[in-house]
Homo-oligomer: A and B are copies of this chain.
């Protein structure tokens, strides 16, 4: 088939094979007459109705009432060969073939999962040109590179209501993700109803939890979209919220309160008491019946062992059993829990720490540590998924995450069979700094770039093309009801305190969050801290900065006026922003960064004068500007001036 580059499409993820055709299939309200053939089930009917609705939303062409008009030839014929597994399994066939000509479109798939994936491709293909809405003639044969393509959502540190979860599933379906990993318990909250142990949610959630009916609703909603739901109950650490209602589970007497701070804390389950396993047996049994997926996530990360060290009874147990270290004690616990998970018909999944030498090989390792841990596990015959490099909370750009591959350098020497054990990956949305208001803004559109890494061929790595398509998929997601753009706008509106929003937006587009865990280190945060500052709105990616950097990189003569216009507006922004800053308690911390922006923009203008034939600057000038840039690149108010590097390049070019 032809190289993809010859055919500029906006698809994300990029399909495995794409052959452009000639002409275009027009989309009008007759699109409502999708025809389903072959194997039928309610999920397919619902998906077809949803596709019609999404096409209508994208185009603005009313399509719902397919009445009062004569039924024409079906514009899209779908053929599904057979049913998928009743409970979606890991290695299902998700392939599909989409054939579009001027005369009509055909979507063929072995099972409903492929139909779902192909429908999303069809929706993305629709665009508007001079002739109206349509899809280009094309033949696509597509299947995912990795079987496990997930998003982990932490609904425990900050509560995320049901409707926000559903909206997240809508977005996931749009980019062909297939695993929703629901991080349901934490030190800061226990978020699902247990009928066996009701004090878990009654005392551990501030009343903010999902009922079991709501969980079933989410599972059905996800299944309709070809998405598995895996619950996580983190143990033996990250479990303070359990201990509020059931202090006897812990390794120190209590009483316990819901934790309000962020970090790693001492409380951990007592691995030495049989009552702990009795409780977990009943609890896991209850939850295993609620969640149909074959995998059950038991967490297992970040136990600091302090409660164990301090408990003489636990120390005595370790001596008696010949358990030498806390790691070994956790391994003992995990092995016992794994047996319970298996007893209730599930396979265990957990973070790196669960992989100990006597662990059965039917588990899945979720690695926050990295590709090496996965490769090591694969050599041992253990399946794994990668999350290291895909933490959406750490302030990195889409390009950063896009560059991470589940089969990275560390997997180079694996055999093909071992490589098959790297099942895929999951992005992680930890919620220390995420509220429902910020959820979409933090997940989207970056999640789509990671989804492409999980689905598309390994060779799809062009970052510029990724960003072009990311802009398109971001618009797609808005039409589906995602709120990442409107949330951003509202945050800026709030920050402006009734003043003009434009100067706030100008600054916001030129800053990005500090990386990794710098934010937690910057000031004390807890569950009640308002997340309503510029750092909360700031995006890790800026189209403005990318454009400016590209202009500076090319440095064509005809680009120089554009560079000047950018720099002038940034220098002048300070005057517009100053009165707003001084009237907004939320923005005043950004005064210094705004001044830095003005100063380096002015320096950039001086450099531009030179480049456009003005007076040359001496070494003192350069030294002074470099010092200015060095100051400007320091984080302030948890923000980085993302436009500093290209301005530095400009100034260095003027040397």
B528 touching A585 by the CB < 8 A rule? no
- In the complex, A133→B584 CA distance in Å? 9
Interface size of A by Cβ–Cβ distance < 8 Å? 56
Interface residues of A in 525-561 (CB under 8 A from B): 527-532, 536
- B29, B69, B483, B498: the one contacting A127 at CB < 8 Å is B498
A60 touching B258 by the CB < 8 A rule? no
A498 touching B60 by the CB < 8 A rule? no
List B contacts of A334 (CB < 8 A).
none
- Given A478-B490, A486-B486, also A497-B206 (CB < 8 A): no
B260 touching A497 by the CB < 8 A rule? no
Query: At the interface, is chain A mostly helix, strand, loop or mixed?
Result: loop
A528 touching B62 by the CB < 8 A rule? yes
Interface residues of A in 107-134 (CB under 8 A from B): 127-133
B497 touching A129 by the CB < 8 A rule? yes
Most buried by B among A69, A127, A130: A130
A206 touching B65 by the CB < 8 A rule? yes
- B62, B127, B531, B582: the one contacting A497 at CB < 8 Å is B127
- Given A435-B62, A479-B490, A494-B58, also A128-B67 (CB < 8 A): no
**Interface presence of A367 (CB below 8 A):** no
| Chain B nearest Cβ from A637, distance in angstroms | 16
| Chain B nearest Cβ from A413, distance in angstroms | 43
B489 touching A62 by the CB < 8 A rule? no
A206 touching B498 by the CB < 8 A rule? no
* Contact bitstring A486-512, B, C-beta under 8 A = 1, else 0: 100111011001100000000000000
When C-beta atoms are compared, the residue in chain B nearest to A257 turns out to be B68
B498 touching A472 by the CB < 8 A rule? yes
User: Can you list 23 residue pairs at the A/B interface with Cβ under 8 Å?
Assistant: A29-B530, A59-B530, A59-B532, A60-B437, A60-B491, A60-B531, A61-B530, A62-B528, A62-B529, A62-B531, A64-B159, A65-B159, A65-B208, A67-B206, A68-B258, A68-B260, A128-B497, A128-B584, A128-B585, A129-B583, A130-B583, A483-B486, A489-B489
User: Which 3 residue pairs spanning A and B have beta carbons closest together?
Assistant: A60-B532, A65-B206, A128-B497
